[in-house]
Amino acid sequence: MCMAKGVKIWDVLNQITVASLLDRYDKAEIRIFDELWQKTLQLLRETQKHPVLLLGDMHYPSFPLMLDLPDEQTHFLFRCSNNFCREVVPFLKSGKQDDVLHIPLASDFSRTHRMRYVQKRKHIPSHLSVRAVRVTLPTEEYCLLTSLPAKEVDSASIRALYPFAGQKKYPITSIKTEQKSKTSPPKCQRESGRNTTPIHCIPTSFN
């Protein structure tokens, strides 16, 4: 039996594939996405005047991605696992709804080692500052990490922006996209061949 893993970045508005790749079944999906994201960035540089908001579920946040996206005029909003990093745990225990996490990188041996030798990153900054927003549902509680500033987007709007809260996960054959109007903002949606939630790229008016 042949097995593979595929990722596709999909422009929902124009109904076209921006980039796609079929790779080994045992390759991490985020690694495939990293390759495709570079192709998507080139297209966005040529076609978008405003920054883009990248929305993703808990399989996608990483320190390198959160460091690099703002340099590419791209905001991010990721759901993270409750033990994504040491700084998320006390935030969830604190009861705070919205806060800025200061995550040390260069002074942390394990993080430095992983970023340098696994993720092949040459420059490692002293720290990463990222905004954390709590989401509380009847059955679960989790954290969203974002680069969107609180002075421009309040925590209630952050929660509303995240599209997967409380939703079921569907296989690619069941995912349907819809365009509410011809003026709806274009989106790029990442889909894979297993049960998962999509990742979107949405042009925004945030500076």
Q: Is the model more confident about 21 or about 90?
A: 90
Mean residue pLDDT of the chain comes to: 75
Residue 175 in contact with residue 169, Cβ under 8 Å? no
Radius of gyration of the chain (CA): 17
Nearest to 167 by CA among 189, 193, 198: 198
Per-residue model confidence (pLDDT) at position 118? 77
Q: pTM (2 decimals)?
A: 0.72
Residue 132 in contact with residue 99, Cβ under 8 Å? yes
Taking only the tens place, the pLDDT of each residue in 64-117 is: 889 888 888 788 888 898 889 999 999 999 999 999 999 999 999 999 988 888
Residue 25 in contact with residue 193, Cβ under 8 Å? no
Per-residue model confidence (pLDDT) at position 196? 39
Cross-strand bridge partners of residue 191: 8
Q: Could you write out the three-class secondary structure of 44-61?
A: HHHHCCCCEEEEECCCCC
Residue 138 in contact with residue 77, Cβ under 8 Å? no
The answer, yes or no, to whether residue 120 has pLDDT greater than 90, is no
Taking only the tens place, the pLDDT of each residue in 38-77 is: 777 777 777 777 777 777 777 778 888 898 888 887 888 8
Q: Which residues contact 87 (CB under 8 A, 6 or more apart)?
A: 101, 102, 103
Taking only the tens place, the pLDDT of each residue in 137-183 is: 888 899 999 999 999 999 998 888 776 544 433 333 323 333 344 44
